[in-house]
Chains A and B, each alone.
Chain A
Amino acid sequence: MLIGVLALQGGFQRHLVMLERIGVRTIEVRYAHQLEKCDALVLPGGESTTMTHLLLTENLWEPIHEFVQAHPVFGTCAGAILLSQNAHDTRVKPFGVLDVEADRNAYGRQVESFITILNLAEIGCDAYEAVFIRAPQLKLASNRVQVLGSENGRAVLLRQNNVLAATFHPELTQDPAIHRYFVESMVRKSLTITNKAQANV
C-alpha cells in the first residue's frame, strides 16, 4: 500500500508523519506521474486558493480529478474544500466528489480558531481532540453523505463512499484514529476489492 500526500503547499509533512507512524508507506505528490503508483491520496490543509493556483498551472487538476473518482481520498480543511461540489469562490476550483457546499473560513479569522473535543463514536473514538484553523463549514447537499462527526450541530467529519473529509486537522494531533480509519476501513478495503476483481478475471 502506498498513500500519496499532495505536497504543493500546506500541512503535508504532518500527514506523512502520521501515516508513517501507523506503518503506511507514503510519497509526496508534486507531479502527475506520481499518482500512478498511489493507492490513495491525501489532500492536506493549507490555502485552497494557493493549491488551486498550483493545481492548474502545473496541470495537476485533471489527473487528480480523475484519480479521486475511483480511489480513496482524504481531505482535511483546505483539502476538504477541494473535495466539495462548490466553494462559491472563483479563486477555488473543487473536484466535486463530496456532495457538500463549502463555506471558506466560516468561523472567522485566526482569533476564532479553536480546539474542541469531538465524539467520533462511528470510528470508535469518543474523545477526539480536534484542531480547527480558519476552518470551513460544509453544508450537506445530498443524503449520500454520511456524517461521522459533528461540532455544534455542524458536520465536521464526513464520508461519501471513497471520500473522507475533515474540516479540522487530524494531522496536528497525536491521535492517529482518523488516519487509521482511512487506511483500514477505506484504503485496505478498496485494495481487497481490487485484488478480488483481478483474481476473478
Chain B
Amino acid sequence: MEKGSFEVKVGLAEMLKGGVIMDVTTVDQAKIAEDAGAVAVMALERIPADIRKDGGVARMSDPKLIKGIQAAVSIPVMAKCRIGHFVEAQILESLEVDFIDESEVLTPADEANHIWKQSFKTPFVCGATCLAEALRRIGEGAAMIRTKGEAGTGNIVEAVRHMRTIINEMKHLTQLGPDQLMSEAKKMGAPFHLVEQIAKTGKLPVPNFSAGGIATPADAALVMQLGAEAIFVGSGIFKSDDPAKRAKAIVQAATYFQDPQKLAEISFGLGAAMRGMDLNDIPEEERLAGRGW
C-alpha cells in the first residue's frame, strides 16, 4: 500500500474538477460554503481583501481555526502557508489538511526558494502567472496549479491574463520540434522533462485551476471557458451582500459555464457583488502576484 505518491495527490485534485473552492474564516462560513455546494474550503484567518487592507505580515492560520473547520464540514479542508515556509507546511500536514496552498496571499518567508513539495505526503497547490512558473512549481512537487490572479481585488483581469498566458504558452510548445525544446526550456527557466511533456500533450500534467478576483458567476464561467478546470473564490463570496446565494450561484456557474441562458438565470437578483478595485489603483509593490517566481 502506497500513500502520498504523486498519483494519489493528483487524484484528489482530479476529484475537485468542475467545482468551487471557497475561502472561509469561520465555522459558520464553512457550513454556508458546504451547503452551497463547495467542493472544498480554504481555512483562513482573514480573506485576501482584508489582508490587503490590514497590511502587516500575513501568516498561516491558527491550528485551532483549522481544526474547528475540519470538524464542521465533510468536504476537503485546505489551508495556506507562506511561500518557502516549510515548517508552516509541516504543521499543516500534521493537522491533516487535505491540500496545502503555498500562497502569495501570505507574506513570503523565503525570497529564493519555494517549498520542496515532493518531500510531503500532503498535496500542494501553487499559484502561477505563466507556464514557466507553473512548471517550476510542478517540478518541486505541486499537484495542482492555479492562476495567481490578483487576490482580494474582485477584479478578474489578472486571472484572465494568467490563464491566457499559460494556455498560449502551452500551445506554442506543441508547435516546436524536439530540437528546439532545450533552448526553450533554458529561455523559460523550466525543467526540461516537463517542457518536453507539455510539447507532447499540450496540457499540464496536473489540474489547472483559476483563482484571484472571481466575484460573479460570469467571472467563474469566463475562466472556465478559457480553460480553467475548477475555481477558487476568495473574497468574492463573503464580501458580497448575500454570500449564501452568491456561493450557490457560482457553484452552478462552474457546472453550466457553457450555457449563457442558464448563466443569466443564475445571475438573477444576486445583490451587490464585492466592490472591487481597479488594478491601476494598486501600486506595483503592493501586488500579490509578484510574490514568488
Q: Which of the candidate stretches A11-19, A62-70, A137-145 sits at the interface with the other chain?
A: A11-19
Question: At the interface, yes or no: A7 with Cβ under 8 Å from chain B?
Answer: yes
Identify which of A46, A53, A77, A131 contacts B8 (C-beta below 8 A): A131
- Which residues from chain B contact A134 at a C-beta distance below 8 Å? 12, 15, 76, 98
Q: Given that A50-B37, A91-B74, A111-B93 are contacting pairs, would A30 and B122 also be in contact in the complex, using a CB cutoff of 8 Å?
A: no
B155 to chain A, nearest CB (A): 26
Question: At the interface, yes or no: A20 with Cβ under 8 Å from chain B?
Answer: no
Question: At the interface, yes or no: B291 with Cβ under 8 Å from chain A?
Answer: no
- Whether B18 pairs with A113 at a CB distance below 8 angstroms is no
Q: Given that A114-B3, A134-B98 are contacting pairs, would A46 and B74 also be in contact in the complex, using a CB cutoff of 8 Å?
A: no
A157 to chain B, nearest CB (A): 17
- Which residues from chain A contact B248 at a C-beta distance below 8 Å? 53, 57
Question: At the interface, yes or no: B111 with Cβ under 8 Å from chain A?
Answer: no
Question: At the interface, yes or no: B11 with Cβ under 8 Å from chain A?
Answer: yes
Q: Which of B11, B96, B251, B256 has the most CB of A within 10 A?
A: B11
Identify which of A10, A89, A133 contacts B17 (C-beta below 8 A): A10
Question: At the interface, yes or no: B238 with Cβ under 8 Å from chain A?
Answer: no
- Whether A54 pairs with B75 at a CB distance below 8 angstroms is no
A-contacting residues, B92-124, CB 8 Å? 93, 96-99, 121-123
- Which residues from chain B contact A133 at a C-beta distance below 8 Å? 8, 11-12, 15
Q: How many A-B residue pairs have CB under 8 A?
A: 122
B212 to chain A, nearest CB (A): 21
A-contacting residues, B197-213, CB 8 Å? none
Question: At the interface, yes or no: B225 with Cβ under 8 Å from chain A?
Answer: no
Main secondary structure of the interface of A (DSSP, over half): loop
Question: At the interface, yes or no: B133 with Cβ under 8 Å from chain A?
Answer: no
- Whether A77 pairs with B15 at a CB distance below 8 angstroms is yes
- Whether B34 pairs with A30 at a CB distance below 8 angstroms is no
- Whether A47 pairs with B15 at a CB distance below 8 angstroms is yes
How many chain-A residues does the 8 Å CB contact rule pick out?
38
- Which residues from chain B contact A41 at a C-beta distance below 8 Å? none
Nearest to A107 among chain B residues (CB) is B3
B101 to chain A, nearest CB (A): 13
Q: Which of B17, B75, B121 has the most CB of A within 10 A?
A: B17
Question: At the interface, yes or no: B271 with Cβ under 8 Å from chain A?
Answer: no
- Whether A114 pairs with B74 at a CB distance below 8 angstroms is no
- Whether A53 pairs with B37 at a CB distance below 8 angstroms is yes
- Whether B74 pairs with A89 at a CB distance below 8 angstroms is yes
- Whether A111 pairs with B121 at a CB distance below 8 angstroms is yes
Would you give the 0/1 interface string for A49-78, flagging 1 where the beta carbon is closer than 8 Å to chain B?
110011001100000000000000000011
- Whether A11 pairs with B17 at a CB distance below 8 angstroms is yes
- Whether A10 pairs with B15 at a CB distance below 8 angstroms is yes
Question: At the interface, yes or no: B36 with Cβ under 8 Å from chain A?
Answer: yes
Question: At the interface, yes or no: A126 with Cβ under 8 Å from chain B?
Answer: no
Would you give the 0/1 interface string for B60-102, flagging 1 where the beta carbon is closer than 8 Å to chain A?
0000000000100011100000000000000001001111000
Enumerate 8 A-B pairs (CB-CB under 8 Å) in ascending A order: A14-B14, A30-B255, A47-B40, A54-B252, A105-B74, A109-B98, A110-B122, A113-B12
Chain A residues with a Cβ under 8 A of chain B:
7-14, 30, 45-47, 49-50, 53-54, 57-58, 77-78, 89, 91, 104-105, 108-116, 131, 133-134, 169, 172
Taking A50-B38, A134-B76 as known contacts, 20 extra A-B pairs with beta carbons closer than 8 A to each other, sorted by chain A number, are A8-B255, A9-B17, A9-B39, A10-B16, A12-B17, A30-B256, A46-B39, A47-B16, A47-B39, A47-B76, A50-B19, A53-B37, A53-B248, A54-B252, A110-B98, A113-B3, A113-B8, A115-B5, A131-B8, A133-B8
